Amino acid sequence: MTLKAVVFETLDNLTEPKVSGWRLFDLVYLRTGRRPYPSTILGYAREWADISGGTFECVDPQNSVYKIEVCAKIAGAIRD
């Protein structure tokens, strides 16, 4: 599974309305065993929001906290 697919699937399945960027980084690490740049994960998260119609917006820049709203689950539909 690609890193992008892991990020998309992780965001599709989050139940919390807010998540820190570091928590997202840890969730991806637990699934992949890799530590990509945090900016890569955030870029994929923004792409996920654009494609799914959801939101991924920073609500606390000091603590890297993002508000997430899932409109359509897309992880299974995206192929690299």
pLDDT digits (tens, 9 = 90+) for 21-39: 999 999 999 999 999 999 9
How many whole angstroms separate alpha carbon 71 and alpha carbon 33?
A: 28
At residue 55, the 3 state secondary structure works out as strand
Predicted confidence at residue 15, as pLDDT, reads: 86
Per-residue pLDDT band at 77 (split at 50, 70, 90):
low
Predicted confidence at residue 59, as pLDDT, reads: 95
Per-residue pLDDT band at 16 (split at 50, 70, 90):
confident
Expressed in angstroms, the distance from the first to the final Cα of the chain is: 10
How many whole angstroms separate alpha carbon 57 and alpha carbon 74?
A: 18
Is domain 3-77 annotated with CATH 1.10.10? yes
What's the mean pLDDT when you consider all of the chain?
87
**SS3 breakdown of the chain: % helix, strand, coil, rounded to 5?**
50, 20, 30
